Chain A
Amino acid sequence: MKNIARIDFKLWAVGLLLWVGAVWAAEREDLIRRGEKVFLLGGCGNCHTAESGPLAAGGEPLITPFGTFYPPNLTPDPETGIGKWSEEEFIQALQEGISPEGQPYYPAFPFTSYTKMSVRDIRALRAYLKALPAVKRRAPEHELRFPFNLRPGLWVWRWLFFRPERFKPDPFRSETWNRGAYLVEAIGHCGECHTPRNFLGALDWDRAYGGAVLGEIKAPNITPDPDYGIGEWSREDLSYFLKTGIKPDGDTASGEMAKVIRGGTARLDEADLAAIIEYLTSLRPIASDPTQKP
């Protein structure tokens, strides 16, 4: 009698453990899937994955007017990746642009946008990265021109141009608009290419989304201005473009934008895509475009 009760209890305990385990695993799966969405729209792989190289194990050289950057390995390898990092250190890198050693990062890593990301999304992102296969691959040192090669100079840059901040919803706007603003500004970092910069590489938000030329990347004006921006595009045009890369004139996306679409916006669900469009069509029109030749 006693024995049977004990066996019963054991079975019951095993069942409970399995159930807890299953719930835990399902929650983890969920977290990782959410992290993947942030990874894709955030374009992390566009910089941190080399052509036909392993996912997130370090990317192609990034050529800028300041020199060449080598985006590092983000896989869980403890030596050459970020396997040893704590969750706090990862959050600090994205929200503050500071390394675990307390060094400032170059804004070629668009933490200047990711700073607006929620802790919830960053945790999901980390869960996703932690689940990737660890790859041993050390990124080369950046090759930057003087004086940009002096990392401590970034403290001055930060003091002038960078304030860590989370996304603040605008209570006078709809929930959809706020979701769109968050996706565009914090995760999608559309402004990192489409907003012009000053001579020290800081974004000029007075001309937000007014078009910019950075090295070889010529990202046009995407404000609703009818002459210089995309004011003539309907919402359907915009949605079609972000899903398929096909523009209203039948041309298709090229270069960096083709990557943004293939890996990011083409995979968004309808609600998030609609939110992005709601936000983009509400931007202040800007009547100029540095990418258009006179």
Chain B
Amino acid sequence: MNKRWFVAVMAAACISSAWADVKAIVAYRQGVMKSFGGHMQALKAILAEGQKQFQPNALFHGEAILGLAKSIPDMFPQGSEHRKSAAKKEIWKNFPDFTSRAQTLERLSQEFVQAVKGGDEAAMKAAFQKMGKEGCSACHEKYRKD
């Protein structure tokens, strides 16, 4: 009897700790996504709303996105669904496609960083818009609840 209790308590503890892990990983990925939003907002102010004095920061913003884009797939482990999460189930049905969309963001943020280093304003603006539309939005279109 005691043994059974022990097993039951351990099982419950495992489930609840797994659940706590899910909550933590959702918090992490939402934090990263919000930071993407922050960098995009800042870049839009620099590139589209005349805050040119911050242009030297454009590189940091771009590199932050580039650096984090790589680990997007790791932030969505199998089964990390949660009431507070806007991640769609389809992510785990099509994980290779989800991963390839993260790689697209990685490539486009790389292109943006190159454009910033190149210094041509028109090229920077174009690369920024492309990153938003074909990098961020293209993944949200399929895998994020609206």
Contact = CB atoms under 8 A, between A and B. Distances in A.
A236 B141 contact: no
Contacts of B86: 254
B122 interface: no
B136 A252 contact: yes
Nearest to A255: B146
Contact of B129 (A243, A254, A259): A243
Count chain B CB atoms within 10 A of each CB in A243, A254, A256, A257 and give the residue with the most. A254
Nearest to A51: B142
B137 A261 contact: yes
Contact of A240 (B36, B38, B44, B137): B44
Contacts of B116: none
Given A250-B40, A252-B40, A261-B133, A217 B146 contact: yes
Interface in A27-52: none
Contact of A252 (B38, B48, B49, B132): B132
A256 B146 CA distance: 8
A254 B141 contact: yes
A258 B44 CA distance: 18
Interface in B121-146: 129, 132-133, 136-138, 140-141, 144-146
A186 B39 CA distance: 37
A240 B125 CA distance: 12
B137 A258 contact: yes
Given A245-B136, A245-B137, A250 B129 contact: no
Contact of B140 (A217, A218, A252): A252
A254 B40 contact: no
A252 B137 contact: yes
Given A218-B146, A250-B37, A250-B39, A259 B141 contact: yes
Count chain A CB atoms within 10 A of each CB in B48, B136, B137, B145 and give the residue with the most. B137
Contact of A244 (B36, B37, B39, B133): B133
A151 to B, nearest CB: 30
Contact of A254 (B42, B49, B133, B144): B144
Contacts of A266: 133
A239 to B, nearest CB: 10
Contacts, number: 76
B41 interface: yes
Nearest to A253: B137
Nearest to B135: A252
Interface string B74-90: 00000000000010000
Contacts of A253: 137, 140-141
A258 B40 CA distance: 17
Interface in A218-256: 218-219, 236, 240, 243-246, 248-256
Interface in B1-58: 36-44, 48-49
A236 B45 CA distance: 12
Interface in A59-94: none
* Nearest 3 interchain pairs by C-beta: A250-B41, A255-B146, A258-B141
Interface of B: 36-44, 48-49, 86, 129, 132-133, 136-138, 140-141, 144-146
Given A243-B129, A250-B41, A254-B141, 8 more contacts: A236-B48, A254-B144, A255-B145, A255-B146, A257-B146, A259-B141, A262-B138, A266-B133
